Structure 1
C-alpha cells in the first residue's frame, strides 16, 4: 500500500523559474506596477489627510464664527435694552424740563422740597416709609441682641 501511495504522489521538487530576458522584463513590469500602486495609495492617503484637516479647520472656523456672532448678538440686545432705557429716561427728563418752564410747577416744587408755604397754608409732613422700616428693623435687631445677651447671661 505504501508503494502505491508513493507512486501516485509525484515527488515535489521546487520549481526553478527561468532566467530569461522576457521573464525578467515581466517581473520588472510587475514590480513597477506594484510600486506605482503603493505610491498611489500613499498619495491618496496624504490627499485624504489634507482634505480631512481642511474640513476640520473649516468646521472649527464656522463654529468659532457662530460663537462670536452669538456673543455679538447678545451685546446688541443688551445695547438695545440700554438704549431703550436711556431713551425712556431722556423722555422723562425732557418732560421734567418742560415742566420746569412752568412757574406754577416751580412754586409747587419749592413748597414741597423746602417746606415753603403760601399765606394761610398749613404744611403737614409724614415720615417716609423707608425710614420707618429701617428704624423698626434696627430696633428689632437691638431687641434681638439684647434678648440673646440676657439668655446667655442666665
Structure 2
C-alpha cells in the first residue's frame, strides 16, 4: 500500500508540474501573436523610413528645380531688355539719316565741303591728348 500511495503521489506531482496539453498551445499562440505584432511593427517602421527618405530626396529635387527656375526667369528678363534695345537699334539703323549722323560722330566722316574740328569734351580728354 505504501508503494502504491507513493506511486500515486508521484504521478499526481508530475501532473501538477507538467503543463497540460491545453496550456501549451496557448503559450505558443501568445508567442505567435507577439511575433506577428513585431513583424508588423518592423514592416511599418521600414515603410515609414523608406517614405521619409523618398520625401526628402524629392524635396531636394524640387528645391533645386525652383532655384533653377528663378535663375532662368531672371535671365529671361535680362534677355528681354536686351532684345528691346536691339530692336530699337535695328529700327534706327534702317534710317539713312541716323546712319549718316552715326558715321559722322563715330568715324569722323564728313559731307562734301565740311571740315571736321574735334572739340574735347572735358579737361581729362585734353590732358590725355597732350600726353
Structure 1 115/125 Cα, relative in aligned 2: closer, same or farther at 3 Å?
Answer: farther
- Which protein, 1 or 2, shows the higher relative CO under an 8 Å CA cutoff with sep ≥ 6? 2
Q: Is the 8 A contact 1:111 1:117 kept in 2?
A: yes
SS of alignment partner, residue 27 of structure 1: coil
TM-score calculated relative to the size of structure 1: 0.63
* Alpha-carbon distance in 2 for matches of 1:107, 1:38: 100
Structure 1: runs of 5 or more not aligned = 1-13, 133-154
Q: CA deviation at 1:103?
A: 1.5
Aligned to 2:84: 91
Runs of 4+ in 1 over 2 A off after TM superposition: 16-20, 123-129
Q: Structure 2 residue aligned with 1:123, among 96, 118, 122?
A: 118
Aligned to 1:135: none
Structure 2: runs of 5 or more not aligned = 1-9
RMSD between aligned residues: 2.9
Q: Is the 8 A contact 1:115 1:123 kept in 2?
A: no
Q: Is the 8 A contact 2:104 2:110 kept in 1?
A: yes
1:113 partnered with 2:106: yes
Equivalent residues in 2 for 1:134-153, closer than 5 Å:
none
Equivalent residues in 2 for 1:49-88, closer than 5 Å:
49-88=42-81
Q: Is the 8 A contact 1:100 1:106 kept in 2?
A: yes
* Alpha-carbon distance in 1 for matches of 2:22, 2:115: 126
